[in-house]
Structure 1
Amino acid sequence: MKQPLRLKEDSAFKKIYSRGNSLANRYLVLFYLKKNQEYNRVGFIASKKVGNSVIRNRARRLMKESFRLYSPKIQSGYDLIFIARANIKDAAYKDVEKAMVHILKKSKLLK
């Protein structure tokens, strides 16, 4: 499977924050913006409010794995930013996966 393209530029993040839509649940916040592309670009963020570096990296790994499993089922042509909320530090993998599915269904991005 081809690895999804990562959002890395600060200008891309700012554009999605200002022009895109957002949804949230207990563990995640999703910002998304429709683009005229045949692929998705994705970014994962865990701020210092989540915890120390070990907890932040764990949060990003959980989000990336959940996204990897459902990426073939996501509509193409979007820029996505997943932001970890502070509650994620106590969450198990299954909780994060359910939150990911919930937020993708709520945004109508899941096929």
Structure 2
Amino acid sequence: MFISISKNFEFLNVYHHGKSYANRYLVMYILKNGSSNNRYGITVSKKVGNSVVRHRVTRLIRESIRLNEEKFARGYDIVIIARNTAKGKKYSDIASAFLHLGKMHKILRDDQL
């Protein structure tokens, strides 16, 4: 189940107190939230492109989360920021970058590696 982070103070809390890793296409911040579910926030800046491009990147990230959510450990607030290089990429590139960041943060479940 996709639970989103929507309030500005929630994003700021993850930015200020969380840990971040980045790769070519995405930046991922994580912070334990003390619940049994993950909450996700997606940010795509105007630097990435016009609204059509930004929404496409957002949809690709959201689909990556939807199809791979069961592979992640529970109890985290996760904020994903799209980099400018994510513009025009295929789903497989974005999903691979998303899973790579999960491995870097060590929040992929052991049975899913």
CA distance in 1, matches of 2:86, 2:18: 23
Q: Quick one: distance in 2 between partners of 1:89 and 1:4?
A: 23
1:36-51 to structure 2, matched below 5 A, reads: 36-51=34-49
Where does structure 1 differ by over 2 angstroms across 4 or more consecutive aligned residues?
none
Q: SS of 2:103's equivalent?
A: helix
Secondary structure in 2 matching 1:45? strand
Post-superposition offset of 1:93: 1.0
For residue 73 of structure 1, report the CA deviation from its aligned partner: 1.3
How far is the alpha carbon of 1:90 from its aligned partner? 2.6
Give the one of 12, 15, 18 matched to 1:17.
Answer: 15
TM-score, with length taken from structure 2: 0.94
Structure 2 gap ranges (5+): none
CA positional deviation for 1:13: 0.5
State the match for 2:30 in structure 1: 32
Q: For 2:70 and 2:42, locate their aligned partners in 1 and report how far apart those are by CA, in whole Å.
A: 18
Question: Matched residues in 2 for 1:98 and 1:14: separation?
Answer: 26
Report the Cα offset of residue 91 of structure 1: 1.1
TM-score (norm 1): 0.95
| Code of the aligned partner of 2:105 | S
Percent identical: 42
Alignment of 1:1-111 (within 5 A): 3-111=1-109
SS of the residue corresponding to residue 37 of structure 2 reads coil
Rounded Cα–Cα distance in structure 2 between residues aligned with 1:77 and 1:4: 13
Q: Over aligned residue pairs, what C-alpha RMSD do you find?
A: 0.7
| Deviation digits for residues 42-63 of structure 1 (CA, Å, limit 9, x no counterpart) | 0111000100000000000000
Name the SS of the counterpart of 1:75 in structure 2: coil
